[in-house]
A and B are shown apart, each in its own frame.
Chain A
C-alpha cells in the first residue's frame, strides 16, 4: 500500500484514470465513499489543470500514516508555464483559461492540506492531502 502510483497526464482519458486510481487507493485505505468521491473530484480538477495549462505532467498518489491518522497524498507536477500569482489563482472565479476558475480553489476546499508551489517558466506542483482517523 506504500507503493506510489504515478499516472502520466497527457490526454483527457488520463484525467479519468487518475481520479479512478485515486478513488481506489482511498477505498483501500479505508476512506468513506463520501471522502472517496471528494478525493476523486479534487484529482479531476488538478489533473485537468495540468492538461489545460501545461499540456502534460503527472499525478502521483500515495498513502501515508501519521500517528493515528492515515492520509491520501496527491502530488500533481508539470513543467508548464507556471502560475504568476498563486494567491490569485486560489481565488474563486479567477481563471486565465476561460474556465470556471474553480479548479484550484475548489480542490483546496475539498482537501485537508493544500499547497501550491510554482515558478514561472518552470512549472507547478500541487500537493494535497486528505486525512482520516484510523479506528482505535
Chain B
C-alpha cells in the first residue's frame, strides 16, 4: 500500500520543502536587518530540513523509476521495463521535470553546505546568505510544483510499458555529465548569495572575498568538468567526431564559465590588493545570472536549439519571471549599495594587477561576443529584419583570436608581481621561455608530421608560452629552499592550483590546435574483405554480424586494424543500432582512444549490396581537450584545500596577520 503512495509522498515532501524555504528566506533576512539572533537562528535548521525533504522527494522519484511505476507520467515517458537498472536511475534526470528536481536538490545541498561550513562567519552574514539561498530555492520549488511536477500521475489509464529513454541518453556520459554541469551552475548561487549578503550588510571588504573564493573555485571546477564531459559525450555519442558545436546549449554553459573564470581572477585581486571591489561583486552577480539565463534559453523554447518546451510556454514564462526578479533585484541592490569610494591602490603597467585587469576585460569581451552571437538571430527577427543563423564560422573567427591574445597575457600573469615590476626584470624572466616557445612551436609540428601548419604552430607556441614561464618561475622559487624539494614543499597549494589551472588551459589549447589541423577522415565503401589505409593504420573489414542487445538490435561491423609502424593488431566494432521501443536508429561509433590519437569509426548507410558506408577518422591529440579540462578542475580544487582558507573560515574576520602571510607567499623572490 505504502509503495503505491510513494509519488504522493514525494510531492508532499516537495511542498514541505517549499514551506521551509519560505521560512528560510524571511526569518534570517528579517532577523539580520532587525538584529534578532532568534530569527536568524531559523536559517540553519531550515536549510537542513529543506535539503532532507528535497532529498526524500528525489528518492521517491528514483524509486518510481526503479520499480517501473508507469502510472507516473514522468516514468512512463522516459523509462521502459527493458531499460538496464543504471539507466533507469539516470533517466530520472534525463528529462525536464526530473532534471529540475535534481537542480533543486543540488541547490538545497549547496545551501546546506554554505550554512554548515560558515560557522565562523559573522552571524548576520550567515543569516543573509541563508536567506538568499532560501529565496532562490523558493523560486525553483515553485517552478517544479506549479509547472513541472515530476510526480503527475497517468490515472486511470496506466500504460503497460514506458516510452523508453531516448537512446542518445542511454550512455555513461548522461549519467555523469548533467550532475556535474548542474553542480557548477547551482554552485555559483552560493557565491551570488555571499555577494548579495556582503552588499546588504555593507561588508564589502577583503573578508567576503576570502569567504567567497573557495565556493567560486569549487563551483567553477564542477562546471569545467561538466563542460568537458558534455564535449566528450557529444564526441563519441553523436557519431560525427566533433567536440564543440557552438550550439546554444553549449554556449549557455560556456557563458557562466567565462565570467566564473574572470571572477576567480578578480577575487584574487580584491582579496590580495583590495582593489576592483565593486567589479568583483558585479561579476559574482553576472555569473549566477548567466547560469539562470542559460537555463531560461535552453528550457523556454526561444532558441532553435531546443523545442521540447515550446508547447508549454508557462514554463518559459515562469523561468523568465524568476530570472527577471533575481537579476533585477540583485543589480538594483548593487546599484544602491556598491561602495562609493574605491581605495586607490596603485599599480603600474607591468604588474599582476594590470594583467588581471586585462584578463577580466578579455573574458568579458568573449562572454559578450558569445551572447551576441547566440541572441543576434532572435534580435533581428524581432526587429523584422529576417532570419539569419550564426554558427561555428562566426564564433571561431572571433573566439580564436581572442584566445590567442589572452594567451599572450597568460604567459606574463603568473610571473608578474603585484603593484609594479621593472621591464628589465620581466624580460630577464621571459626571454628564454619566449624564445624556447617560439622555436619549439615551429619545430614540433615539423617533427610530428613533417608538414608545417601555421595554426597548429600558433597553438603550440601559445601553449608553451603559458607553460614555460611558469616552469621557470617554479625553478626560481625553489632555489631558496635548503633543497629543491623543500623549496617545492614551501609553495602553497593555492599556488599549485594556479599552476595546474593554467597548465590545463595549455593542454586544451594543444589539443584544439592539433586535432583541428591534423585530423584526417575518409568515408569509404566497405564489405567483408575490404581494406582501407588511413594515417598509418590499415582497416580491414572482417565480417558483418547481427546481434541483439537488451532493448535494441544491431548490425555490427568487425574491423581488424593494423598499425603499420608498430605492427600491432586490434579490433574495432562500430554498430548501427535500432532501438525497439522508440523505433530510433542510432550510430554507435567504435573508438580506439589513446593519449596521442583516437581512431574513430562510424557506420553509415547500408549500401544494399553487402557493403556499408563507413567513416573512418584519425583524431590526433583529441584526448588533450578533456585532459586539460580535468587539470583545470583539479587546479580549482587544489586551491581550496589550501589551509589558509580553512583557517580563515574558522577565524572569521580578515586578520592583518594572515593577510601579510599571504602577501609574503605570493610575492616572487
Q: Do A and B bind each other?
A: no
**Which residues of A line the B interface, CB within 8 A?**
none
**Which residues of B line the A interface, CB within 8 A?**
none
